[in-house]
Amino acid sequence: MSEPCVNCSTPVPGRYCPTCGQKRFEPADRRFGHLLGEFTHSLTDLDGRVWRSLIALLFRPGLLSLDYNEGRRARWLSPVALFFAINVVYFLSPLHGDYAMQFDKQVSGRVAAAAAESGTDTSGYTWAGQAHAAFTAAWVDREASALDPGHDGDGYRKLRERYDARADDVSKALVILHLPFVALALLLIYADRRLYYAEHFVVAMHYFAFALVMVTALVHVYTLLQRHVPSFATAVPTSALDWAARFLYVLYAVLMLHRAYRTGWLRAVLSGAALIAAMVAVNLFVYRPVQFAATLWVATR
């Protein structure tokens, strides 16, 4: 007589339940070795949806979006699950993310000079700051004054230190702000396709999932090379990291749009340029002001 499935009580004639698919429970399954075996299998099973989806995301741009939007979903991790899993890894990574804007890069040169360490040459601090700087300068001045009740002149420095200590975590949490705007840009770029907004949102999630993996990998590889190859830091400046990221942003966008929307190469290139332009606009006029305001608020509470 077949034993009942412990999950759904259906008689199980073989190793797996014909109703729910669960493997027949055996006494050996209680052992710690079985738990370790399941963990090892989950990490090494390249046919699993997690690894299969990650490999497709990195090396077959647009395939995940195309398959999901056309209904071929069983073999891939859902876009939401993939995006948030990668976002969690990005959030926990001990690095200054590409989307983190430190205090000096957000404020005007006047404020940055006031916040600089004693002895710093601030003669070149003449920049205007981000687009929001003209509107947030008074707020910054008030917070710096509140941190300098004795009028010792170190309020701006204290504010910068507090801000920079929180900037990474806040920026990583706010990366998701880009998604609805990028999806809207894709909706406009491909308006002739008459796709749902949600389908463009899927493409946006996959694009930013790649971006987070790419940024994390670049920063870690660059840091390792700096640490273990003495001549690397001198031969390859930090700006090379920024240019490598920009190149990959553009290249991946073109390849992704070509496959995800089944479009020709010319339109993919033009659409990719439009997408990057939209991302830059969103980053400058939406993300950076929100990131600055949120970080400043958190840092002064």
pLDDT of residue 100: 72
- Report d(CA 171, CA 182) in Å as an integer: 17
Structural domain contains residue 90 = yes
**Count of residues making up the chain:** 301
Q: Model confidence over 190-209: pLDDT tens digits?
A: 999 999 999 999 999 999 99
- Report d(CA 226, CA 16) in Å as an integer: 52
Q: With 90 as the cut, is the pLDDT of residue 275 above it?
A: yes
Q: Model confidence over 219-267: pLDDT tens digits?
A: 878 778 777 777 776 777 777 777 888 899 999 999 999 999 999 999 9
Structural domain contains residue 108 = no
The mean pLDDT of the chain is: 87
Structural domain contains residue 290 = yes
Question: How many domains in the chain?
Answer: 2
- 259 vs 67, 79, 142, 263, 265, CA distance in Å? 10, 16, 51, 7, 10
- Report d(CA 203, CA 67) in Å as an integer: 11
Q: With 60 as the cut, is the pLDDT of residue 43 above it?
A: no
- Report d(CA 273, CA 259) in Å as an integer: 16
Domain of residue 266: give its range: 80-100+170-299
Structural domain contains residue 126 = no
* Pairwise pLDDT comparison (26 vs 175), residue with the higher score: 175
Structural domain contains residue 162 = no
pLDDT of residue 29: 67
- 160 vs 188, 190, 298, CA distance in Å? 39, 43, 13
**In terms of pTM, does the model score above 0.85?**
no
pLDDT of residue 236: 75
DSSP 23: B
DSSP string, 110-148: HHHHHHSPTT---TT-----STTHHHHHHHHHHHHHHT-
pLDDT of residue 26: 73
Same domain, 7 and 90: no
pLDDT of residue 24: 74
Structural domain contains residue 153 = no
Same domain, 235 and 86: yes
Same domain, 31 and 90: no
Structural domain contains residue 13 = yes
Q: Quick one: which of 244, 246, 251, 249 has its CA closest to 269?
A: 251
- The string over 128-152, giving b where at least 16 C-beta atoms fall within 10 Å of a residue's C-beta and e elsewhere, is ebbebbeebeeebbebbeebbeeee
Structural domain contains residue 219 = yes
pLDDT of residue 19: 80
Same domain, 90 and 238: yes
Q: With 80 as the cut, is the pLDDT of residue 2 above it?
A: no
Residue for token pair 């190469």: 265
Same domain, 177 and 228: yes
Same domain, 192 and 242: yes
The confidence band for 98, taking pLDDT boundaries of 50, 70 and 90, is low
